[in-house]
Amino acid sequence: MNFVERVDDLVVIRRVLVSVSDKAGLDLLVPGLLQINPEIHFFSTGGTFEVLSRILGSGARKPVAHLLTSVSDYTGQPETQGGLVKTLDFRIYLGLLTETYNEAHQGDLARTGALPIDMVIVNLYPFSATVAREGVTVEQARANIDIGGPCMLRAAAKNYLRVVPVVDPGDYAALLAELEAGGGGLDLATRFRYARKAFRHTAAYDTAISAYLDAQTPDDVPGVYMLA
């Protein structure tokens, strides 16, 4: 296990991974991030990538390709049908979990061509909203269990040493103000605060899934499917 002693207090945000179910506020957040640091580069997936392409294409001073890369292009792996596997990739998690002053970690980045990711903007499949609908099936609930999102949030939150996880669109305005005040960076105390919220978010998400599954009768589940 690594126990870290040396970290940077202020981390300038240069690379941002965005993969959100709720896309509200991106039209304000993305231009705001670029205004603070025109050199920021975004990585994104699926429908979020399409939204970011439109936002960046409508007002970017540089070609969109210089600002935005799809996760599939970065990892070299196409998304699995239905978006089942998008971000569960070694290079992504090196970018999230590596420590700045760990020589072995820096060697792993160099060996794989992975890049440090400074910020993760993720919110999860709408599980609670799905199971709140009348007549929802256990299969519809199952399909709305997010895997990659919680993994990225937990990785970013664990490595608050240099990464900030952002889970709530309601925090975008405050985040931009904090970055503006920090000259494009966030200090350790701020990263830690966002990490606490990310872990609360994933804990509540798992609690909702567990509560729903516990309320189902296992004998009724096979009736939802055509059993082979």
Distance, in Å, from the CA atom of 172 to the CA atom of 129, rounded to the nearest integer, reads 22
Q: Let me know if residue 228 belongs to a domain.
A: no
Q: Let me know if residue 4 belongs to a domain.
A: no
Q: Let me know if residue 191 belongs to a domain.
A: yes
Phi and psi, residue 16, nearest 5°: -130, 125
Phi-psi category of 90—alpha, beta or left, where left has phi over 0 and alpha has psi -120 to 50? alpha
Q: What is the chain's pLDDT, residue by residue, as a tens digit (228 residues)?
A: 889 999 999 999 999 999 999 999 999 999 999 999 999 999 999 899 999 999 998 655 555 778 999 999 999 887 777 666 778 889 999 999 999 999 999 999 999 999 999 999 999 988 999 999 999 999 999 999 999 999 999 999 999 999 999 999 999 999 999 999 999 999 999 999 999 999 999 999 999 999 999 999 999 899 999 999
Question: CA quadruple 196, 198, 204, 206: dihedral positive or negative?
Answer: negative
Distance, in Å, from the CA atom of 37 to the CA atom of 202, rounded to the nearest integer, reads 29
What is the domain range of residue 86? 11-217
187 DSSP 8-state letter = -
Q: How many domains are contained in the chain?
A: 1
Amino acid identity of residue 200, one-letter, is: R
Q: Let me know if residue 226 belongs to a domain.
A: no
Q: Let me know if residue 208 belongs to a domain.
A: yes
| Alpha carbon of residue 156 to chain centroid | 8
Q: Let me know if residue 187 belongs to a domain.
A: yes
Q: Let me know if residue 192 belongs to a domain.
A: yes
218 DSSP 8-state letter = G
Q: Let me know if residue 222 belongs to a domain.
A: no
| CATH number of the structural domain spanning residue 151 | 3.40.50.1380
Distance, in Å, from the CA atom of 85 to the CA atom of 77, rounded to the nearest integer, reads 9
